[in-house]
Structure 1
Amino acid sequence: MNIIFKRKSVRTYLDIDVDDVTVEQIIRAGMAAPSAKNQRPWEFYVVRNKETLAKLATCTPYARPVANAPVAIVACYRTKGIFEPMMTLLDMSCCCENMLIQAAALEMGSVWLSFAPHPERQEPAKKVLNLPEDLEVFAVLPVGYPQGQGKIIDRFDPARIHWEE
């Protein structure tokens, strides 16, 4: 599990394509995530078109890394046919974390760009992708070969552990 400690947020990428097999491996890891009552609310859009990537990058002030990525995985969730709607965002969080860890395991860079639960971010992205009414954008994960090494941050804080006596 050391890969968890090697994952970092990567926002700049080399101008090298990411093959479909790699993208599928990342999405496969996302689909392996647990979900409430196995509802698996996820749907994924793989975006390579530079114009579409540029448009997605303007949907939120934090999405700029999408513009220079060779590919972005747009993680969406269904709103119909869901029996635990209050759990959907939790399910999607597990899914995206799995994808970020798998990207790191494949020596790819990625970053979680949150769109949900902000309608002012979700709606423009939904229009860019021409999504059906029953899909919402959860997050966008740009993926690529990292430009530079980046810094791994140790977030362990023993003060946040409370041992029962």
Structure 2
Amino acid sequence: MNSIFTRRSIRKYTNEAVPSSLIKNLLKAAMSAPSACNQQPWHFLVIDDRSTLDKLSTHNSGYSMLKEASLAILICGEIETAILKHFWAEDCAAATQNLLLAAHASGLGGVWLGVYPEENKGVFLKEVLNIPNHITPFSLISLGYPAETKEPEDRYNEDKIHYGKW
């Protein structure tokens, strides 16, 4: 539970490289997420090439932290092969959250950069990263060893909870 309560979005990173064994563990954690009918409609693109990260960082101000990131992982969905096509985004969101929690528990910092459903972001990523047409980019996770610390926030709010009926 500690990883859930203390995880924060980290946008500043050191230049320390993330070992491939740790990247593999993050991907294992992401792939351990639940998915509708266990369809696992996801694909993961690991981006660790400095020039590619720099290019991605220029797309919009929300991606600027990629300039400092050691790597990024793009979570994509393969909608046409999914059993329940309308649940692919929920499945990819669960994988994204698992990846972020695993990164935090492993001493990395990361931030979820929105992609889907903003079509222009998906088109840009497909073009730069040579993603096939039948694959849909969902979320881009900027990762690295943190060069900033953020205190945990208690976000529990009783006003958002309803029991039995609204």
Which residue matches 1:145? 145
Q: CA deviation at 1:149?
A: 1.4
Query: 1: distance between equivalents of 2:126 and 2:152?
Result: 33
Give 1:110's aligned amino acid: G
Counterpart residue number, 1:16? 16
Secondary structure of the equivalent of 1:140? strand
**Partner of residue 160, structure 1:** 160
- Could you list the runs of 5+ residues in structure 1 that have no partner in the other structure? none
Aligned pairs, number: 165
53-62 or 109-118: bigger deviation: 53-62
- 1:84 aligned partner: 84
**Aligned position for 1:57:** 57
Shift of 1:33: 0.4
Q: Which moved more, 1:106-115 or 1:74-83?
A: 74-83
Q: Which runs of 5+ in 2 are unaligned?
A: none
1:66-105 mapped onto 2 (5 Å cutoff): 66-105=66-105
Sequence identity (%):
32
Superposed CA offset, 1:23-73 (max 9, x none): 111111110000011111111111111111012223343111112101111
Give the letter aligned to residue 158 of structure 1.
E
SS of structure 2 residue aligned to 1:11 = coil
Structure-2-length-normalised TM-score: 0.94
Deviates more, 1:139-148 or 1:154-163: 154-163
**Residue 115 to residue 129, structure 1, CA distance change in 2 (3 Å):** same
| Post-superposition offset of 1:101 | 0.5
Contact kept in structure 2, 1:7 and 1:104, CA below 8 Å = yes
